[in-house]
């Protein structure tokens, strides 16, 4: 099964660390990153999709961050 996650964070080093941690756990980048202004906070936000092949069947109870 292919698992999918969309990582998001404010445009800080925390976003890069979040993506780097996912890559270290075997996730792969999927598509290009996105960058947008959040008018509610006045800050820029980043997003990056990642995918990973895992064993088993999909369940809504899965903790994707723990794969």
Mean pLDDT of the chain: 96
Q: Is residue 66 part of a domain?
A: no
Percent pLDDT > 90 in the chain is: 97
pLDDT of 6 > 90? The answer is yes
Cβ atoms 44, 11 nearer than 8 A: yes
Number of folded domains that form the chain: 1
User: Would you place residue 48 in the very low, low, confident or very high pLDDT band (cuts 50, 70, 90)?
Assistant: very high
What are 36's strand-pairing partners? 45
pLDDT of 65 > 90? The answer is no
Q: Is residue 65 part of a domain?
A: no
User: Would you place residue 57 in the very low, low, confident or very high pLDDT band (cuts 50, 70, 90)?
Assistant: very high
- Residue numbers of the domain that contains 16: 2-57
Q: Is residue 67 part of a domain?
A: no
């Amino acid at each position: 099964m292919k698992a999918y996650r969309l990582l998001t964070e404010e445009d800080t080093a925390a976003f890069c660390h979040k993506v780097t941690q996912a890559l270290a756990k075997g996730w792969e980048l999927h598509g290009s990153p996105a960058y947008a202004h959040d008018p509610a906070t006045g800050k820029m936000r980043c997003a990056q999709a990642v995918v990973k092949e895992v064993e088993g069947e999909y369940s809504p109870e899965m903790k994707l961050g723990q794969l």
